[in-house]
Amino acid sequence: GELRALGAEVHTVDFDALDPAGHEDALGKVFAEGDVDMVLLAFGMLGDQARDERDPGAAVRVAQTNYTGAVSAGLVCAGALQAQGHGSLVVLSSVAGERARRANFIYGSSKAGLDAFAQGLGDALYGTGVHVMVVRPGFVRTRMTAGLPPAPLATTPEAVAAAVELGLRRRSETVWVPGALRVVMSALRHLPRGVFRRLPV
């Protein structure tokens, strides 16, 4: 509704991350409309770490949504973009994938897999005219994180959108939101495991 009010033409297509068999059909409808300049792969679920540790089925649902569903959708979109010879695929990853934390390692591991997949896909598509950009936001104040205490360097959907736009203009391959997280996560990633385990994260 907001986009239409701004003069945009909007079409919607039903999509289910947990139905990879239906991804080619669902996403094919989008590409059948004509060339696509940019695909924003932005879906996922946080899950409930305490519950999911006790319920493997729930943990698998997080993994299948955030990783398997994204791999399937990403490959379908990448193939369509490659066929048209141009376009950008923007993949919303997360700083949680940089190093799994005790507090959310199920979610973090799914994002780590997605991040590695997207980087590899970007390498595979290099030189084809298709640009893959991985976006690594920190804690974003959205419906998914409603009710959770904000983490340091928390950001907003508007800030993520602005960073995505700038990254597309620069044809960046990796974007951190906010940018300071790149330094923070580099330090955390290299901490000895025994030290990292004692941090209140």
Q: Annotated active-site positions, please? A: 107
The kind and range of the H/E element at 144 are none
Using CA atoms, how far apart are residues 136 and 132, in angstroms rounded to an integer? 13
> Which ranges in the chain belong to alpha helices (H)?
2-5, 23-31, 49-54, 56-63, 69-84, 105-125, 157-170, 181-189, 193-198
Instruction: Please give the structure tokens belonging to residue 77.
Output: 């979109």
User: What secondary structure letter does DSSP report for 140?
Assistant: B
What is the identity of the amino acid at 82? Answer: Q
